[in-house]
């Protein structure tokens, strides 16, 4: 197996492991109750260290200095069980398709969710007033 094949196999192993962990956590949540942030000004970004789409959002935030314009709380979900439970609870609350519950990146703001790098970046551009 060459180096590229090993990288691809490694990526899939990590992705499958993360999905399995999120699935197990989602089955342990009692009810679909989540304390959603009541403050409309809070912006929470759920991400994973292993997610390439999360990296795109992270790079955009750094490149455009978004954190100096908006107060964003970032919550990593692959290594933090409480953050993963929050993410899954939000997906359950908004009745996301099963495939999207626990998916990252997900940004929660103004009592709405934005899923995927394109939607998140568009929201951040609008809120921060950048192009």
Q: List, in order of start, the domains of the chain with CATH numbers.
A: 3-128 (3.40.30.10)
Strand partners, 114: 107
CA nearest neighbour of 26 among 81, 65, 104: 81
Q: How confident is the model at residue 30 (pLDDT cuts 50, 70, 90)?
A: very low
Q: Which tens digits make up the pLDDT trace of 32-57?
A: 455 665 566 689 999 999 999 999 99
**Alpha helices for 29-77 (secondary structure H):** 52-63
Instruction: Read off the pTM.
Output: 0.73
- 27 compared with 81, residue with greater pLDDT: 81
Cβ-count burial of 9 within 10 angstroms (0-12 exposed, 13-18 middle, 19+ buried)? exposed
Q: What is the rounded distance in angstroms from the CA atom of residue 107 to the CA atom of residue 77?
A: 13
Return the pLDDT at 100: 92
Those residues whose C-beta lies under 8 Å from the C-beta of residue 119, and which sit 6 or more positions away, are: 107
99 φ, ψ (degrees, to nearest 5): -65, -20
Q: What is the rounded distance in angstroms from the CA atom of residue 22 to the CA atom of residue 84?
A: 7
E-strand spans in the chain? Answer: 43-47, 72-76, 106-109, 112-115
pLDDT beyond 80 at 79: yes
Q: Which tens digits make up the pLDDT trace of 91-114?
A: 999 999 999 999 999 999 988 999
């Amino acid at each position: 197996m060459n180096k590229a094949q090993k990288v691809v196999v490694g990526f899939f192993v990590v992705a499958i492991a993360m999905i399995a962990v999120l699935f197990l956590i989602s089955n342990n949540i009692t009810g679909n109750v989540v304390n959603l942030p009541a403050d409309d000004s809070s912006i929470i970004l759920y991400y994973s260290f292993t997610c390439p789409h999360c990296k795109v959002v992270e790079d955009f935030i750094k490149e455009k200095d978004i954190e100096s314009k908006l107060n964003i709380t970032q919550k990593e979900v692959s290594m933090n069980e409480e953050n993963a439970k929050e993410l899954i609870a939000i997906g359950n609350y908004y009745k996301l398709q099963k495939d999207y519950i626990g998916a990252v990146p997900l940004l929660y703001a103004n009592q709405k969710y934005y899923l995927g790098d394109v939607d998140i970046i568009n929201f951040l551009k609008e809120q921060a007033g950048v192009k």
